[in-house]
Structure formats: C-alpha cells, structure tokens
Amino acid sequence: MNKPTFMLVDGMALLFRAFYATAVTGQFMVNSKGLPTNAVYGFVKHFFTAVSSFNPSHVAVCWDMGSKTFRTELYDGYKANRGEPPVELIPQFNLVKEMVDAFDVPSIGLEGFEADDCIGTIARQSSVDANVMILTGDQDILQLIDDHISVILLKKGYGNYLVHTRDTFFEEKGILPAQMIDLKALMGDPSDNYPGVKGIGEKTALKLLKEYENVAGIVANLDRLSNAHRLKIEQDLEMLHLSRQLAEIKCDVPIACTLDQAAYRVNREKVLEKFVDMEFKGLHKFLQSEKEYA
C-alpha cells in the first residue's frame, strides 16, 4: 500500500519570500481597511502552486512564534544581526494565519522554538507512516533529510523548486544530511550570526567531516590535524560546541500533528469567502483543481 504524502510548509519562508519579492517595488497591495496584503497574496500563490506541483494528501504549516527562543538563551548574539520586520509586514503575520485557517490546514508553532524545530519534530513523528516533504527556502532544513523525508527548496519565482533527497544531497556535498549540523558548527552561519571556528570555511569543513565524520570525531583526532587546523579549532573549541547546539534542529519539541488532523481537503466556498474578505483578485483559478470536501 502506498504511503500518504505529508507536506510540511515553512510558513515564514513563504511569507518573507513573497513580501520581499514585491516590497522592492513598493507594491504592498493595501486593501480598503488600510492593511497591506502583498505577502499574504504571494504566500497563497506559493502555497497552491506547491500543492498543485507535488499533490500531497496531507498538509500542515509551521511558524516562528517570536524572536526569543532557547537559542537566544544559549547565545545572546543569535540572529542579533536581524532588524525588526518591516512595518508593512507586521499585520500580515496574523492575516496569513487566518488564510491558512480558511484552507482548513493546521498552523503549528510553539513559543521558545523556531518553525524549523516544529517541522523537524512533526517530520520525524510522521515519517513512520508517511513520506514527508518539507517546503522551504532555508537550507538548514536539509539536515532532516532521510529515507522518508525530502526537502523542496524554493527557487526564484513561482513553481521553481530544487528537490533534495539523501542521494541528491550526497551528490552535491559528499556528506550525509545529518552532517550538515557539524558543517555549520565548523563554518558558522553569518545569517544566524554565530561564528563557528574562525578561519574554517566550507571546503576545509567538508574535508574534515569526510575524514572524521563529525565534530566529536574531529576533536578526538586533533593530534592528527595540520598545525593550522588544530590551532584554529583549539582556540574556538567552546564556540564550536555551542555552534553545533545552535545549528541542530530539535526534533523533540512538545507538539504533535496527526495525519488525521492534516488531511488536505479544501472547502472552496470557505476559501473564496476569505479571498473576498482579503480583497484578493485573480486567485480563484488556483482552486479549480483543488480536492473538495466529501
């Protein structure tokens, strides 16, 4: 019997991508209530295009729930390089969740954790009974790939994707998906604002991981490294271990989403009513091929 297909959507990735695609030209699509809706409109297009392309039987959307998480508790500098979201985007955080509710799709998030952690937890829970696809623009998620979890990376525009499985990831990087955690621990992550080991870039990090498997293996074999590499790691050993904690997506967050809760069936009338409420035009065509409630 074929397993169901569960698509987990990184809601923040779709929303931010949609916002910035139109914000550069100032097209915020303000409605008659004075609310900007460009990000929500683009989110809907991304959402329905992906659902149409991959035809999942089950869908859920995961969200960040504020900037304070266990990672900011571990490291003050975590994501400290990021400014406040644009004022035109702030009201759209609630609007987009209203839209997802109209799709009868679960919205999942938990204070203290990132959307990635919710995605990781549900992906692991669900991969026993379903083939899981994660829709995101964030390469950090690639660490979750296994035999039953693939990642769909959004590319520029609508309907352009790079799908990664264990095999394609290995072909590209020469390491296993789980080793992405150790790769980021060594390299750091400028976008998340943690340094890893100063002076070690991707090429050196990949070489070390191919030889010693992970951070623990590298540290256990410091005496076998070149003097330059050993010195860099010894000087930043504490940050190396901290960076690995920051890089690892938690897969044991206290949340759950059953397949029954995530069964994907669209009530067209309900969604069209929400389109009218949001004053969206031109999106009804996305509903023509959607599965309807029995």
Q: Do the beta carbons of residue 66 and residue 111 sit within 8 Å?
A: yes
Domains of the chain: 5-173+255-285 (3.40.50.1010), 177-247 (1.10.150.20)
> What is the DSSP secondary structure assignment for residue 113, as one 8-state letter?
S
- Quote the mean pLDDT of the chain: 93
Please give the model's pTM, rounded to 2 decimal places. 0.94
Phi and psi dihedrals of 134, rounded to 5? -110, 120
pLDDT of 233 reads: 97
Of 110, 99, 125, the closest CA to residue 8 belongs to 125
Q: Angle 165-132-106 (CA atoms, 0-180°, nearest 5)?
A: 145
Give the C-alpha separation, 267 to 273, whole Å.
Answer: 10
Residue listed under structure tokens 């295009």: 49
Is the predicted pLDDT of residue 293 greater than 70, yes or no? no
Among 147-151, 210-214, 250-254, 280-284, the least confident range: 280-284
Of 34, 38, 37, 44, the closest CA to residue 11 belongs to 44
